[in-house]
């Protein structure tokens, strides 16, 4: 084994800090690692597990989205189509997110006895035939094939506890980020400039008992994926605690506030004069090389929010937004990645970094392996602690 750089009293302090923060986070990190490994390939797994919902037979022509919206809203009369996630591939289904009608005061009058909740919040539709392939409620903890990925996703970022869970996981990410450096400090060899010293740190003593096996595996996995864990934990802090991170980012590089756009022509007066299809055509004519990812229908403010991908975007889903009047079809506001500030570009990196998608398949695989190794780190760290307690009790008995 290599000689550690930190010794004596400072080492004892770092050991205690690393041990107790690690034990505090153990369950949370294991859940994050287990669920993160699955959702790092969420889109691919959805198509694999639920092909009847997410895979369709390509045809020459798609149905108009306005027609599909009418079909969906007729099937689910207590809801309206709040957002459409458009197909990326020719055999992808169209995903429609539903919202309660009472969330659209500009469109429907409140109905007597109608609860401000809906049975299903997501509908999958064949974009060519308009056939509804299935539906699910992504907010319910239902262990079924249809709901598996939404359940894992919500466990990952909120423990299925809503806003309190999001805050808990966010602060866990803060502590995790700090304890990562405690662990690296303990593993840092005295002669760190030598490759042999690091090889000694990564050495596995597989024939010297369970304690040393667990200790070495814990150190090996932690050092090996340290850069991945730093990136994932740091991005998790922003994703769960944006209200805390954004003001700090603003100090270094200003972040453009998300605009709250309201159409100049209220829907109550003019009605919907621009369909979803019309709004998409407006963007495609303005940006010929664009790929539209989603269309959000803000019925309250009478605005379509279109998220779209342009060459050079960090996120594979696009970092550009257009706000289009539902009444007139006019572009009320454009938010483009290329004209954003340094702070905006920093924020745009967070989710693609966390998922690994910023670097394509290689990045996703790195995050997947990092999540698996995180579970190994949790298990071996607990075993090391139990081993220490067992050895101490044995000595006291003697």
Question: Per-residue pLDDT tens for 357-372?
Answer: 999 999 999 999 999 9
**151 located within any domain:** no
Partner residues linked to 320 by β-bridges? 308
Say what the pLDDT of residue 281 is: 97
**349 located within any domain:** no
Of 162, 123, 127, 124, which is closest to residue 141 (Cα–Cα)? 162
Looking at the structure, do residues 69 and 187 belong to the same domain, yes or no? no
Tell me if 276 sits within 8 A of 297, measured CB to CB: yes
Looking at the structure, do residues 62 and 36 belong to the same domain, yes or no? no
Say what the pLDDT of residue 103 is: 60
Of 257, 125, 234, 141, which is closest to residue 181 (Cα–Cα)? 234
In the sheet where 79-85 sits, what is the strand order?
132-136, 122-125, 94-100, 79-85, 291-298, 303-309, 320-325, 331-335
Looking at the structure, do residues 303 and 166 belong to the same domain, yes or no? no
Say what the pLDDT of residue 112 is: 35
Mean pLDDT of the region 331-346: 94
Looking at the structure, do residues 186 and 134 belong to the same domain, yes or no? no
**48 located within any domain:** no
Tokens of 324: 């289009």
Tell me if 344 sits within 8 A of 256, measured CB to CB: yes
**230 located within any domain:** yes
Say what the pLDDT of residue 270 is: 55
Of 144, 174, 193, the last residue of a domain is 144
Looking at the structure, do residues 296 and 226 belong to the same domain, yes or no? no
Helix, coil or strand: residue 314: coil
pLDDT tens, position by position, 10-28: 999 999 999 999 999 999 9
CA atoms within 13 A on the CB side of 115: 3
Tell me if 133 sits within 8 A of 145, measured CB to CB: no
Domain range for 277 is 257-339
Helix, coil or strand: residue 291: strand
CATH of the domain at 315: 3.10.450
Measured between alpha carbons, how far is 193 from 201 in angstroms, rounded to an integer? 13
**149 located within any domain:** no
Looking at the structure, do residues 58 and 120 belong to the same domain, yes or no? yes
**171 located within any domain:** yes
Say what the pLDDT of residue 20 is: 95
Tell me the angle at which helices 8-39 and 162-187 cross, rounded to the nearest 10 degrees. Answer: 130
- Give me the helices (H) in the chain, please: 8-39, 42-49, 51-54, 65-75, 148-158, 162-187, 195-201, 210-224, 226-240, 242-252, 267-270, 276-286, 342-355, 360-397
Mean pLDDT of the region 238-266: 86
Q: Supply the mean pLDDT for the chain.
A: 91
pLDDT tens, position by position, 103-114: 654 444 433 333
Measured between alpha carbons, how far is 251 from 76 in angstroms, rounded to an integer? 47
Measured between alpha carbons, how far is 35 from 151 in angstroms, rounded to an integer? 9
Looking at the structure, do residues 59 and 109 belong to the same domain, yes or no? yes
Under DSSP, the state recorded for 92 is B
Say what the pLDDT of residue 111 is: 38
Say what the pLDDT of residue 110 is: 36
Looking at the structure, do residues 230 and 287 belong to the same domain, yes or no? no
Backbone angles phi, psi at 4, to 5 degrees: -70, 150
Tokens of 11: 């080492």
Looking at the structure, do residues 330 and 266 belong to the same domain, yes or no? yes
Looking at the structure, do residues 81 and 226 belong to the same domain, yes or no? no
pLDDT tens, position by position, 118-176: 899 999 999 999 999 999 999 999 989 999 999 999 999 999 999 999 999 999 999 99
Tokens of 160: 């299925």
Tell me if 55 sits within 8 A of 223, measured CB to CB: no
pLDDT above 90: residue 286: yes
pLDDT tens, position by position, 190-216: 888 888 888 888 899 888 889 999 999
Cα–chain-centroid distance for residue 397? 50
Say what the pLDDT of residue 117 is: 62
Question: What are the CA-CA distances from residue 144 to residues 135, 141, 173 (Å)?
Answer: 13, 9, 29
Say what the pLDDT of residue 360 is: 94
Measured between alpha carbons, how far is 218 from 320 in angstroms, rounded to an integer? 42
Tell me if 114 sits within 8 A of 79, measured CB to CB: no
**153 located within any domain:** no
Say what the pLDDT of residue 268 is: 57
Say what the pLDDT of residue 1 is: 60
**350 located within any domain:** no
Of 82, 109, 144, the last residue of a domain is 144
Q: Domain tally for the chain?
A: 3
pLDDT above 60: residue 398: no
At 241, the pLDDT band (50, 70, 90 cuts) reads: very high
At 397, the pLDDT band (50, 70, 90 cuts) reads: low
Tell me if 172 sits within 8 A of 28, measured CB to CB: yes
Say what the pLDDT of residue 265 is: 63
Looking at the structure, do residues 179 and 37 belong to the same domain, yes or no? yes
Looking at the structure, do residues 177 and 245 belong to the same domain, yes or no? yes
Of 92, 109, 144, the last residue of a domain is 144
Residues of the chain with pLDDT > 90: what percent? 76
Helix, coil or strand: residue 369: helix
């Amino acid at each position: 084994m290599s000689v550690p750089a930190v010794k004596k009293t400072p080492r004892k302090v770092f050991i205690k800090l690393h041990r107790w923060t690690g034990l505090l986070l153990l369950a949370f990190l294991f859940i994050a690692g287990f669920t993160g490994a699955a959702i790092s390939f969420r889109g691919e797994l959805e198509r694999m597990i639920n092909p009847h919902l997410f895979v369709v037979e390509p045809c020459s022509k798609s149905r108009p989205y306005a027609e599909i919206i009418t079909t969906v809203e007729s099937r689910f009369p207590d809801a309206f189509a709040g957002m459409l996630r458009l197909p990326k591939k020719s055999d992808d289904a169209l995903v429609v997110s539903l919202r309660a009608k009472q969330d659209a005061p500009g469109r429907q009058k409140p109905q007597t006895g109608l609860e401000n909740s809906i049975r299903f919040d997501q509908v999958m539709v064949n974009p060519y035939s308009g056939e509804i392939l299935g539906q699910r409620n992504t907010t319910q903890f239902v262990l079924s094939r249809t709901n598996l990925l939404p359940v894992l996703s919500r466990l990952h970022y909120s423990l299925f506890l809503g806003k309190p869970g999001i805050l808990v996981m966010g602060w866990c990410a803060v502590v995790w980020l700090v304890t990562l450096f405690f662990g690296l400090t303990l593993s840092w060899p005295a002669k760190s400039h030598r490759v042999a010293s690091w090889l000694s740190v990564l050495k596995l003593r597989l024939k010297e008992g369970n304690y040393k096996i667990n200790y070495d595996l814990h150190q090996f996995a932690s050092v090996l994926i340290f850069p991945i864990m730093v990136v994932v934990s740091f991005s998790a802090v922003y994703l769960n605690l944006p209200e805390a991170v954004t003001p700090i980012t603003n100090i270094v590089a200003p972040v453009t506030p998300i605009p709250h756009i309201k159409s100049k022509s209220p829907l109550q007066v003019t009605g919907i004069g621009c369909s979803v299809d019309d709004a998409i055509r407006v963007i495609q004519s303005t940006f010929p090389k664009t790929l539209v990812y989603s269309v959000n229908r803000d019925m309250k403010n009478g605005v379509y929010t279109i998220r779209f991908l342009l060459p050079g975007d960090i996120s594979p889903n696009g970092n550009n937004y257009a706000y289009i009047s539902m009444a007139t079809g006019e572009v009320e506001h454009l938010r483009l990645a290329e004209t954003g500030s340094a702070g905006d570009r920093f924020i745009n990196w967070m989710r693609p970094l966390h998922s690994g998608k910023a670097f394509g398949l290689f990045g996703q695989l790195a995050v997947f392996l990092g999540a698996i190794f995180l579970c190994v780190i949790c298990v071996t760290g607990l075993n090391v602690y139990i081993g220490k307690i067992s050895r101490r009790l044995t000595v006291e008995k003697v």
